[in-house]
Chains A and B, each alone.
Chain A
Amino acid sequence: MSVDLASVLTQLLVGLSRSMILFIVSAGMSFILGVLRVPNVAHGSLYMIGAFSAFSVYNYFGGGSTGFWLALLLAPFLVALVGFVAERALFCHLYQREHLMLLLFTFALMLILGDLVKIVWGPEYSSIMPPGGLKGSISIFGSAFPKYNLFLLVVGPLVAVFLWLFTNRTKVGKICRAAAVDREMVGALGINVSWIFAAAFVLGCYLAGIAGALVAPTVSITLGMDHDIIIEAFLIVTIGGLGNMWGALVGSLIFGITQALGVLFWPQFAIVFPYAAVVIVLLLRPRGLLKSVW
């Protein structure tokens, strides 16, 4: 099919905006992976709860622009709260156990949260609208580009900056980084490692919540969102380098852009493009593109 440069550029932008969502989710997962050394299988469920919470907050405040911004503000805290409760009540008791048990716990959490969402919000799907200023599309390179996607392109880097500041400039963040590399040393310094894990887990959940709230106006908020995103997050984190947040950024960019270009050139197998990219990266650098934190 003949495509002109303008279409390719538009499609690239669309892919980039999708990468932003993927980045926020994967960064959260990477952070948890780095500090706790556990891939959080429930991360997709937390993202889904973020989207549903955004819906509830949106409706509680009567929809419209106020509804949206308040949802974006509050939903992540709700998700972080869910994560906090799960962590303190159950998860933290497993830190002394084998690694595998932690992974299985997150899998169990995913199963439970998935049905909890069904119980709390019902089986049908929900929908929220972008706020007034971000509705509709504008013309970029001669094609229609939804304004909301432009907004995502701005928010993504903001989150990345916030994360960098957190891990490099705040005390908690720096301790988390240290714990990722050598938790025993951190413990020997008298810091309560269990609380550090809690902090890292809660931050990861918060990020998942932001991503969920951000994606809510663009998709149907529905059960099954968790399954869709978790495998992508897994792959991104694997090719980025386990635990490396910049790796998550690189991975998300690769994933989002290859998928968008795939849709342009070969829509039926669009999904295979990012997967193939993943396989190529892993064949060349099995431990991921960037250095793993451990």
Chain B
Amino acid sequence: MGGIKGRLALVGLVILLFLLPSVLPRFYTYIIALIFVTALLAMSLNITVGYGGMFQFHHGVFYGVSAYTVALIITKTKLPAWVAFCAGPVAAAIAGLLIGGFCVRLTQLYFGMLQISLGSLLWAIVFRWYSLTGGDDGIHGIPMPDILSSLKNAYYFILIVLIVCLYLLYRIVNSPFGRTLQAIRDNPGRCEAVGVNVRRHQLAAIVIATFFAGVAGVLFVVLEGSVFPDLLFWVLSLEVFIMCLLGGWFTFAGPIVGAAIIVSLRTFVGMYTEYWTLILGAILILLIFFLPEGVMGFLMEKFAPRLKAHVVEERSRAQG
């Protein structure tokens, strides 16, 4: 198993990440921090998509709700920033509970389209409530507490929060709750028959996922100091979906890989051509045709075929 070698690699990686800001130019520190934030968002989505098998098509809404909550609390009230940081994920989870509550009554495509509808309503409100949210202009120059105001410190803060969240997510996914969720994904009928309350489980998964999306939203504000209505727009949600798929939605680290690839490509391709959207579309097509299991799936075939076969076998047994 991953075991000792895996853990050493992990520790080595973490140390490397902590050293990076001291050696890299500021722009790259910024991009890596952005990757961290996006990776957390993608990981949170995967709780519902990869582990829960749900068509969470508008995950971005929760990310945006949290970011705006933080922005509004800091700019419109005299409350300290730390209150805002805690309020963000809570607001996201509440939105997740409300929207998810309606969506779990349905399945598959209906679930997805209902979520897009409800999410778009939230987007429309944020987008048009100019006096509160600044509408299309967004909110800028959001002041951060002094410790976080430099790029380097923001990077460290984001990295630490990311590591903590990843650890929590790992524990959740491997807990009895997580296993039940995967069982529901593979065969909801059988679970229902064994007495599992499928709806409640799925709703719980949504609330957890949206809570962590909310944390990602807080980190976004820390890094950028701004919020925009596009955070709640459906295109971003679909992009995050692509990140999960690109990375490999059935592995734990898959979404991180997906997020890293998409953010890096978007930044660097954007410097040489204005047709980034075309390239993203082409990547997605290639993915669908040649790499449906994502990058991680492909790599696992090459380097850990036994592990992959084990995972695949487990799933097909469950699906019966």
Contact = CB atoms under 8 A, between A and B. Distances in A.
A and B touch in their complex, CB below 8 angstroms: yes
Interface of A: 37, 39, 41, 90, 93-94, 97, 99-101, 104-105, 107-112, 114-116, 118-119, 227, 231, 234-235, 237-239, 242, 268-269, 271-272, 275-276, 278-279, 282-283, 286-287
At the interface, is chain B mostly helix, strand, loop or mixed?
helix
A111 B284 contact: yes
Interface of B: 55, 102, 105-106, 108-110, 113-114, 116-118, 120-121, 124-125, 127-130, 234-235, 238, 241-242, 245, 274-275, 277-278, 280-282, 284-285, 288-289, 292
Nearest to A90: B285
B128 A271 contact: yes
10 contacts: A39-B113, A101-B292, A104-B288, A105-B284, A108-B281, A119-B278, A227-B235, A231-B116, A237-B113, A282-B118
A287 B108 CA distance: 12
A242 B110 contact: yes
Given A39-B113, A111-B277, A115-B275, A286 B106 contact: yes
Contact of A231 (B125, B234, B277, B282): B234
Most A-side CB within 10 Å, residue of B241, B245, B285: B285
A275 B121 contact: yes
Contacts of A116: 278
Contacts of B102: 282-283, 286
B117 A110 contact: no
A276 B121 contact: yes
B275 A111 contact: no
B288 A101 contact: yes
Given A118-B275, A234-B117, A287 B125 contact: no
A108 B285 contact: yes
At the interface, is chain A mostly helix, strand, loop or mixed?
helix
A279 B118 contact: yes
Nearest to B105: A286
A111 B109 CA distance: 21
Given A115-B275, A271-B128, A286-B102, A104 B121 contact: no
Contacts of A111: 277-278, 280-281, 284
Contacts of A234: 113, 116-117
A278 B116 CA distance: 11
B117 A282 contact: yes
A89 to B, nearest CB: 11
